[in-house]
Structures are given as C-alpha cells and as structure tokens.
Amino acid sequence: NISKVSRNLPHWLKVPNVVSSDVKEGKVACDEMKHLLDPEIILTLKESQIESFFPVQKQIITELLENANEMTWQFPIGGVPLSDICCSAPTGSGKTLAFVIPIVQILKYSTFRALRCLVVVPVVELASQVYKVFKTFTKNTNLKVGVANGLKSFSAEQLSIIDFKGAYGPTSKVDILVCTPGRLVDHIHSSPHFNLSQLRFLVVDEADRMMEEVKQDWLSHVERAVFQSANQITQNSNDQRPYQFALLRNHIQRPRIQLQKLLFSATLSHNPEKLQLMKLYNPKLFTSVAKRDKSNLKRNLYLGKYVTPVGLKENFVEVDKSRKPLVLLHILKTMPFKSILCFSNSVQSTNRLCSLMKLMEVKACEFSSNLHISKRDRVVKQFNTGKLNLMVCSDAMSRGLDLEAVDCVVSYDVATSLKTYIHRIGRTARAGKEGSAIALLEKKEIQYFKRLLKDGGKEKIKEIKVNQSKLKPYTSQYQKALAALAKTLQTENNKIK
C-alpha cells in the first residue's frame, strides 16, 4: 500500500494566527484600541480621517505594542528576543499601516537620533508610497524619515540621510529609512558613517519577491552591517551585539538591542526552505488564507493558497487574440467602469496596446519601465484624478501600489503565474470597496487559467459571453486604428532615439 506522506512543518506554520479577510465585518473602531495607542498616534489618525482598523491592522498593531513599552522599546522584556512576524493578507487590507503605527510609537521613545528602522521594498514607486505614510505618522513626533530609492543622485541621498558635520561627529539624520535593496547595499558599502548598529526593525514589504532577491545577497549585507558595526564600536567583547541565534547565558542576562524582522505580502510563501533564507527568530505567522476551521488548520489546507478581497468579482472572456482590442473597447464602452487597469506581459505589448487604444479615441496612458519615473508619476496622478480612463501597464505595476480608484482590472495577456495574477487583481477592491477583474483568454489558455486558480484555492470563475454582434460597431474604427498604428509606433521610436 502506498500512503501519502504529509509535510513535516515547523510549529509556527502549523498553528498560524488567523486574520479575517473581510475588512468590512472584521474592522474595529480606533477608539477601542486607545489603551494601546499614544496621543500623537490618535491625533494623526483623526487628522487622516481614519476611524477604524482593518483586521490585519488590529492584530499586528496589538502584537507589536503589547510586547513593547517606553521602558523596553529597544531591549526585549526579560532579555529574550521578541518573535519575528510574517503576515500574509489580501492586497488592499491595510498591511502598510499595520507596521507603520507600532514602529512609530515604539521608536518615538528613543533618546538620540540613529537609524533604527529599515523598510525594504522591491520597487521605486512603492518606496515613495511607504515613505509618505511614515511622514504622515511621524509629523507629531521628533522622528525623521528618509528614502533611498535612486530618484536622487547617490551623493544627494547621502546628504539627506547622514549628518557629516554633527557636533559630536557624523551621525544619522533619520530614524527610519525606506529603501530598495540595491540602493541599500550601495549605501552600506559606499556611504561613510552609514551605521546600522542601532537597528531595531527590519521590515520587508512584498516579502515573497524580496525573498527571491535574497539570492542577490542583500540580506547578508544588512546583517553584517548590523552586527559587525555594533561589534566594531564596542571595546568590551561582552557588550557585543550577538546574532539572534547566539542566546548564550551572558547575552540573556544583559539587555541587547534586538533586530526584529517583519515580513508582509499578499502572496507570502509558506515554503519553509524559502522562509529559512530570511533567518527568522521564533517567528509568528498571521494569515488570512487559513480558515478558523480547526480541520483546515490541522490538515494545512491553507498552504500555497492565497486570498483575494471579499468585494472582488472575477470573470473571464473567451476571445481570439486578434479580437482582444475590440473586447477591451467593448468593456470600456458598455460596462460601468470609470477607471480600468489593463495588464500585458511585456513592455513592448504595453506600448503597442496603449498606442492602439489612443488611436481608437480612448483616454489611455502607458505605465512601464519604458517611461522615466517623473512621467510615471504624472500619469498616475492623471489616472487618479479621472483624466484618464485606461492605464495599460506591465507587471511592474502589480506590486504594492495603491491607486485611488480602480473599478476593474483587465488581464489582456494571461498571467504567467498565480502570484502575478493575485497582485494584478489586487489593484482593485481595496480597503473594503468593490471591484471587478476580467481575464481575456484564448481558447487554449482557459484550461491553464482555471488550473492556476484551482491551485490557489479558487474553484469557480464566471465566463462573460461577448458575441461577434457586440463587437461589430467598433470594427471599422479598429481597422483604421490598426492601419495607423505602425506609423505611430515608428514616430515614437524616432523620438526615443
């Protein structure tokens, strides 16, 4: 007899803390958490017109603040390190605020300026977005926030985060730094007096993608800088800051600064081998994927599955490749969507489709690595204010960015992986709102797409029928646009050259 072998998982993966994926039903009024929050945080929440916390915010904020107070913010209570945190929750569920609020409240008790929090994100735009949230919640404190994402010259970034002319020598200008991994490693090795010896928090946003980039070794550069820099400035070896795993008796008896890691993603891997790369200490998992049903937890049915927002409606349309532009135009013209985000699989097809839709008199824009960062910022603002109805983008847009109003996400090209699909559709139905996702599929792609969703825990997706008769009114306009497309693309290429 052949029996199925069950995976032998670490205890923290077997017994996660379950977070509700329904942000409407599970939210809690901010007033109910006043006992945990400082007056400055409460004031900022009121100024930002935030009246309630979503489930993931409530649980993460509570977990971090109940284990820290003004006397122990830097050193773990009893000398035993606090658990690292892994959080897997749907896109748009408020994960950014879940780590911003407790970090600001904990660090505001620091008595001198030093770099105590690194937030590492995979893309430039996300770094700017997280930086703005931190700026909002530090305005009623003495904390300073910086960003290192390559938008400034390297020397300008150095001057913005390091005070080279401090009264007592060079010091950090910031308590919190939001950065991309490449830029962070550059500062570790090339910025004099970039000191991580006081680092208290390492936040890894979009952690599944960042774990893939661990292979590029950014994490080992950070850890060497954290622990070696602390050791270099210490004369007595007994005072050296130990690695988390070196829990010798003298390390527990004396207070040590802890480096606590916080990992967040909508598609966080549950693979123990991948998570091991992050060198987590006694981690705790908070997930919206697992159900509260004990049988599901016991059988680990949530592993490898992902949750999408409750208010999201998912559909697909079967269509020949040549007719996809017509179906997209049909969606724009006949369905009640004011703003549509459309994903393609390459920069080239993004540019081509956007040009074609413009020729069909659609208020469209392109968002891809083809554009300079300033141009990308400009088109995002135009899209957010309703000046544009369609944004055609490559999958660089699918990570973490919080557009103000996306009614519908269209997958013009089928997603290459489940994670890519989850992050695409996560641009709509955010923060408890409703939204739609429509995949345009060739007949040969339907089986692959359904299997992809089934592997992620999704069993059913409805088909929208779009008959040839519904597309006929746009055929003439489409043919004229197609004829003019080659000339338009040639003109654009000449401008780039």
Q: Of how many residues is the chain composed?
A: 497
- The CA distance from 45 to 30, in Å, is 8
- Contact of 203 with 104, CB cutoff 8 Å: no
- The CA distance from 276 to 13, in Å, is 12
pLDDT at 402 (0 to 100): 64
Closest CA to 198 of 86, 77, 111: 111
Q: What is the pLDDT along the chain (497 residues), one digit of tens a residue?
A: 565 555 567 888 888 898 888 877 788 999 999 999 999 999 999 999 999 999 999 999 999 998 875 445 555 555 567 899 999 988 888 999 999 999 999 999 888 999 999 999 998 989 999 999 999 999 999 999 999 999 999 999 999 999 999 888 899 999 999 999 999 999 999 999 999 999 999 999 999 888 877 656 899 999 999 987 655 544 443 444 544 444 444 444 445 678 999 999 988 888 888 888 898 999 999 998 645 555 454 445 555 577 788 889 999 999 999 999 999 999 999 999 999 999 999 999 999 999 999 999 999 999 988 888 888 889 999 999 999 999 999 886 667 566 888 999 999 999 999 989 998 998 999 888 899 999 999 999 999 999 998 887 787 899 999 999 999 999 999 999 999 998 888 777 666 55
Q: Which two tokens stand for residue 125?
A: 């735009």
Closest CA to 318 of 418, 417, 454, 446: 446
pLDDT at 78 (0 to 100): 55
- The CA distance from 471 to 103, in Å, is 53
Instruction: Give Cβ neighbours of residue 72 (< 8 Å, ≥ 6 apart).
Output: none
H/E element, 348: helix 347-359
pLDDT at 183 (0 to 100): 95
Alpha-carbon Rg for the chain, nearest whole angstrom, is 24
Label residue 170 left, alpha or beta by phi (over 0 means left) and psi (-120 to 50 means alpha). Answer: beta
Query: Domains of the chain (ranges plus CATH)?
Result: 11-298 (3.40.50.300), 312-496 (3.40.50.300)
- Contact of 345 with 416, CB cutoff 8 Å: yes
pLDDT at 9 (0 to 100): 75
Sign of CA dihedral 361, 362, 365, 370: negative
- The CA distance from 18 to 2, in Å, is 33
Site of tokens 């911003």: 100
Helix runs in 254-343, H state only: 272-276, 294-298, 324-334
- Contact of 201 with 98, CB cutoff 8 Å: no
Closest CA to 438 of 417, 456, 413: 413
Instruction: Give Cβ neighbours of residue 488 (< 8 Å, ≥ 6 apart).
Output: 355, 359
Instruction: Give Cβ neighbours of residue 441 (< 8 Å, ≥ 6 apart).
Output: 316, 317, 318, 319, 414, 449
3-state helix, strand, coil in the chain (%, to 5): 45, 15, 40
pLDDT at 234 (0 to 100): 46
Report the Cα 124 to chain-centroid distance in Å: 12
